[in-house]
Amino acid sequence: MKILKKPAIYCKYLFAVLLAFGCLAIVGRGFHYYSNKDIDIKSPPDKRIKYYTKALEKWNYNKDTKENKAMIYNNRGTAYYEKSDYDKALEDFDAAIELDPKDDLAYYYRGLIYNKKKNYDGAIANLDEAIRLEPKITGFYYVRGDVYTKKNDYESAMANYDAAIKLKPKDSRTYTHRGSAYAKKKDYDKAMTEYNTAITLNPKDAWAYYVRGNLYVKKKDYARALTDYDTAVELNEQFGRSVYNSRGWAYLWLEEWKKAKQDFEKAIKLNNKAILPYSNIGIYYWKAEKNKKKALECYEKSFQNGFSLWDTLYDDTSAGHFISGLNQTPEFKALVKKYRKDSK
Average pLDDT over residues 87-98: 96
Residues contacting 79, CB < 8 A, separation 6+: 45, 46, 48, 49, 52
Helix H or strand E segment including 88: helix 86-99
Least confident among 13-27, 197-211, 284-298:
13-27
Mean pLDDT for all residues in the chain: 88
For residue range 94-134, what is the model confidence (pLDDT) as tens digits? 999 999 999 999 999 999 999 999 999 999 999 999 999 99
Distance CA 196, CA 106 (A): 33
CB 47 within 8 A of CB 34: no
pLDDT of residue 67: 65
User: How far apart, in whole angstroms, are the C-alpha atoms of residue 80 and residue 36?
Assistant: 22
The H or E element spanning position 320 is: helix 319-322
The pLDDT tens digits of the residues spanning 319-330 come to 999 999 999 999
pLDDT digits (tens, 9 = 90+) for 275-304: 999 999 999 999 999 999 999 999 999 999
- Burial letters for 283-307: b for 16+ Cβ neighbours within 10 Å, e otherwise? bbbbbbeeeeeebbbbbbbbbebeb
Q: Is the pTM of this model over 0.85?
A: no
Cβ-contact 82, 44 below 8 angstroms: no
Q: Which helix (H) or strand (E) holds 77?
A: helix 66-82
Instruction: Find out whether 278 and 302 touch, Cβ atoms under 8 Å.
Output: yes
Are residues 261 and 248 in contact, defined by beta-carbon separation less than 8 angstroms? yes
Q: Identify the three-state secondary structure at position 43.
A: coil
Q: Dihedrals φ, ψ of 16, to 5°?
A: -65, -45
- Quick one: pLDDT at residue 65? 62
Give the residue-averaged pLDDT of 183-209: 96
**Percentage of the chain modeled with pLDDT above 70:** 86
pLDDT of residue 42: 80
- pLDDT tens across 28-87, in order? 334 443 444 567 778 899 999 999 998 888 776 555 566 688 999 999 999 999 999 999
Residue 228 and residue 196 in contact, taking contact as beta carbons nearer than 8 Å:
no
Q: Are 143 and 111 in contact (CB under 8 A)?
A: yes
CA distance 123 to 116: 9
